[in-house]
Amino acid sequence: MKNSLLPFSHVYLSSASPRRRELLEKIGLWVIRLPSDIDETVYDNEKPESYVIRMAQEKNRNSRFLATTAIPVISADTAVVIDDKILGKPKDKQDAHAMLKMLSGRTHKVISAVCVSLNDKEQTRVSTSHVTFAELSDEEIELYLLCGESQDKAGAYAIQGIGATFVTNLSGSFSGVMGLPIYETMKLIRELSS
């Protein structure tokens, strides 16, 4: 089914993320996955916003050569940031616990960059949201870690799942915190297709 707000019914998604795919499907797009394999190492002294922009663009360029140029290629990257430190995906349970303890009772930033390419043109936008967590006890953190939701999630939580119970305030884009800011994505697709 073609979404009447968009000039395309199909898009390529340069990601294996089920959350990003779900977000695009919810607005009526047919998603063709083209996961990219890139080095996601943060450069020395690289700012969080520069990092997510670079990652989104590299993912897009890595997948683009497999795509038909007449269909948009969408890629994104998201970073959870506190004290100017990027919290990536936890290495293990102890790392996840330390991240959640760091976020407990504080406000952190979630920065998402989305890159869209179409017909050899490329544009990138950034969405920054502020998320405040309640104070979390060690017991609450350990119970959360038992559900397994923190694995493979930047900052060790999923706002679309049980992790939402920690959030006392969100200023910004819910979909951006999930990993793909839909407003910015739609805006880029419309701009590139006009």
Nearest to 150 by CA among 101, 85, 81: 101
With respect to residue 158, please indicate whether it lies within any of the assigned structural domains: yes
| pLDDT at residue 2 in the model | 45
What number of CA atoms fall less than 13 Å from residue 147's CA on the CB side? 12
Query: What are residue 27's DSSP bridge partners?
Result: none
With respect to residue 2, please indicate whether it lies within any of the assigned structural domains: no
Q: How far apart (Å, rounded) are the C-alpha atoms in residues 166 and 164?
A: 5
Q: How far apart (Å, rounded) are the C-alpha atoms in residues 93 and 25?
A: 32
Residue type, 46: E
44 labelled catalytic: no
| pLDDT at residue 7 in the model | 74
With respect to residue 5, please indicate whether it lies within any of the assigned structural domains: no
Q: The tokens 């959870």 sit on which residue?
A: 80
Query: Domain count of the chain?
Result: 1
Reported as type and span, the H/E element at residue 33 is strand 30-33
With respect to residue 151, please indicate whether it lies within any of the assigned structural domains: yes
Q: What range defines the domain where residue 64 resides?
A: 10-193
With respect to residue 72, please indicate whether it lies within any of the assigned structural domains: yes
With respect to residue 115, please indicate whether it lies within any of the assigned structural domains: yes
Which is catalytic among the residues 37, 39, 44, 77? 77
| pLDDT at residue 82 in the model | 97
pLDDT string in tens for the chain (194-residue length): 444 566 788 999 999 899 999 999 999 999 999 988 899 999 999 999 999 999 999 999 998 877 667 899 999 999 999 999 999 899 999 999 999 999 999 999 999 999 999 988 999 999 999 999 999 999 999 999 999 999 889 999 999 999 999 999 999 999 999 999 999 999 999 999 88
Assessment of whether the complete model's pTM goes beyond 0.75: yes
With respect to residue 164, please indicate whether it lies within any of the assigned structural domains: yes
With respect to residue 3, please indicate whether it lies within any of the assigned structural domains: no
Q: What CATH number does residue 144 fall under?
A: 3.90.950.10
